Amino acid sequence: MDHVRVGLVGLGTVGTGVYKMLQENKDIITKKVGKEIRVEKILVRNKDKERDPEIPSELITFDPGDILENDDIDIVIEVMGSVELAMDYIKRALSAKKQVITANKDLIALHEEELSELAHLNGRDLYFEASVAGGIPIIGTLKEDLAGNKIRKIMGIINGTTNYILTKMTKEGKSYEEVLKDAVALGYAESDPTADVEGLDAARKIAILGTIAFDTKITFNDVYVEGITKITKDDIKYADELGYIVKLLGIGMNVDDKAEARVHPVFISKDHPLAAVNDVFNAIFVEGNAVGETMFYGRGAGELPTASAVIGDLMKATRDFINDTMGSSYRKIVKRKEIKDISEVDTAFYTRMKVKDIPGVFAKIATVFGDHGVSIALVRQQYRDDSGVAEIVLVTHKVQEKNVRDSLAAIEKLDVVEKVTSVIRVEEGKR
Ligand SMILES: NC(=O)c1ccc[n+]([C@@H]2O[C@H](COP(=O)([O-])OP(=O)(O)OC[C@H]3O[C@@H](n4cnc5c(N)ncnc54)[C@H](OP(=O)(O)O)[C@@H]3O)[C@@H](O)[C@H]2O)c1
């Protein structure tokens, strides 16, 4: 066969990008892999939808069997989305001995291990670079280029929508609700933004990254998740005054044979490289014991950036297909690490509370923190108003999360405290 035959499952944002990039960069792609890669069939669902005129209508099919069980297809690209159906389609494709590429983070964050094992059993590969951070080549980097490092930490801005919202709140002093409304109108947020703003999308991505970086299994369900919906204008303002920026981070840590996987808003020092990542851009900061600190920056979504990651995988899968070296990407998890509960995680905190504006209040609060082993790095009392209510803002040193939570529960019961209004974790120090 003088060309390699691809079946595309899905022709939405990513599928269209993949098709276009294959046409546009055909010369260099063919030269680099040694054969032309040709899309032979494209599976879609909606019979009435008008398709891009650049895409030949004879390629379109509505029957999954035309791709998944078709002997004239060598490689399947799943860019359809969903969990159950995509799982079924990928299993069918692997069982029919096709190389498979997917961009599906929802699926990979839950079932990567099972699907990779199935690929291995069939002597084939499953690639999923596009499932995390769109165009940023982070999965291949962790799997291959940094594979000899012990990775201690991964910390990333891995959701463009929330980074856009937090950037606008920071730069324009607007509330979360105002910015979200604009973001939906401009197409930067979905009309139902839950998966993004509640941190679920980022949680899927940190599960995938942590699994690879720490050589263990972390699924979406293992990740502690907090979104950005409770971040207020005041929090952003205090962050600024204290030398921080608020970002939604996915964080994975690999310490003493235990792993951490969490997504939550963070006060990050303004001089940390992640603090400069704005708007819809993504970035992933990785710390390895040999390489030290590295950071990867780029577009986390969109037609062509995501297609770029899919095509990179497609070229790897094609080379292995041509050279008959398929099945070489499999990596067995040898030892599973325990995943820490959030209460065991060590981190610093910013907290803000409304208190009675009378003498001795701070001493009472400090005593409760002290009794729980929490030391205070910084404190400010602000915005006294006529109602006799003052506001205390403080930042703790790094301590086990449980100690801070227990302290705050006790502090809320003090008769001098009206309400703890914000609790946000802080990345201590410059890095
Ligand atoms: N968009 C991004 O920037 C991005 C970035 C990274 C990863 N991803 C992932 O890439 C995947 C695709 O995303 P997308 O944004 O391209 O989605 P999309 O624009 O909604 O496109 C989905 C495509 O799949 C087809 N499809 C859906 N259900 C189907 C079914 N039951 N049978 C056959 N075809 C079906 C749709 O067919 P019709 O055309 O007939 O509706 C459409 O062509 C998702 O897993 C997503 O998480 C997306």
For residue range 185-238, what is the model confidence (pLDDT) as tens digits?
998 899 999 999 999 999 999 999 999 999 999 999 999 999 999 999 999 999
Q: Which residue has the tokens 């310490």?
A: 255
- Two structure tokens written together for 386: 């006529």
Residue 431's pLDDT band, with cuts at 50, 70 and 90, is very low
- CB of 317 within 8 A of CB of 99? yes
Over residues 357-411, the pLDDT tens digits come to 888 999 999 999 999 999 999 999 876 667 788 999 999 999 999 999 999 999 9
Strands 244-255 and 258-269 turn out to be antiparallel
Region 77-105 average pLDDT: 98
Over residues 143-156, the pLDDT tens digits come to 999 999 999 999 99
Report d(CA 310, CA 312) in Å as an integer: 5
Nearest CA owner, ligand 1 atom 12 = 79
How many C-beta atoms surround the C-beta of residue 315 within 10 A?
16
Report d(CA 272, CA 263) in Å as an integer: 18
- CB of 267 within 8 A of CB of 167? no
Report d(CA 97, CA 90) in Å as an integer: 11
As a whole-number percent, the residues of the chain with pLDDT over 90 amount to 92
Atom number of ligand 1 nearest to Cα 13: 16
- Ligand 1, pocket residues at CB < 6 Å: 10-15, 43-46, 49, 79-81, 85, 103-105, 130, 134, 301-302, 306
Region 177-188 average pLDDT: 94
Nearest CA owner, ligand 1 atom 44 = 81
Catalytic residue from among 41, 91, 98, 205:
205
Count of CA atoms in the C-beta half-sphere (13 A) of 288 = 16
Cα–Cα distance list, 251 to 204, 210, 266, 286 (Å):
12, 9, 10, 10
User: Please, what is the average pLDDT of the chain?
Assistant: 95
Give the pLDDT confidence score for residue 384 in this predicted structure. 66
Q: In which element (H, E) is residue 193 found?
A: none
For residue 83, how far is its CA from the centre of ligand 1 (angstroms)? 12
Q: Is 288 annotated as a binding residue?
A: no
- pLDDT of 430 > 60? The answer is no
Atom number of ligand 1 nearest to Cα 81: 45
Residue 257's pLDDT band, with cuts at 50, 70 and 90, is confident
* Torsion from C-alpha of 288, 314, 52, 81, nearest 10 degrees: -60
Three-class SS state of 90: helix
Give the pLDDT confidence score for residue 383 in this predicted structure. 63
- CB of 308 within 8 A of CB of 135? yes
Apex 269 CA angle, 161 and 382, nearest 5: 95
Catalytic-residue membership of 205: yes
Q: For each of the domains in the chain, give its residue range(s) and CATH number, in order of start.
A: 3-134+303-323 (3.40.50.720), 138-298 (3.30.360.10), 344-427 (3.30.70.260)
Q: Is 105 annotated as a binding residue?
A: yes
Nearest CA owner, ligand 1 atom 18 = 12
Among 9, 13, 60, 280, say which to mutate for ligand 1: greatest number of ligand atoms within 8 Å of CB: 13
Over residues 119-150, the pLDDT tens digits come to 999 999 999 999 999 899 999 999 999 999 99
For residue 40, how far is its CA from the centre of ligand 1 (angstroms)? 18
Give the pLDDT confidence score for residue 388 in this predicted structure. 83
Buried b (16+ CB within 10 A) or exposed e, 362-393: beebbebbeebebebeeeeeeeeeeeeebbbb
Region 282-304 average pLDDT: 97
Over residues 265-276, the pLDDT tens digits come to 999 999 999 999
For residue 5, how far is its CA from the centre of ligand 1 (angstroms)? 21
Give the pLDDT confidence score for residue 386 in this predicted structure. 73
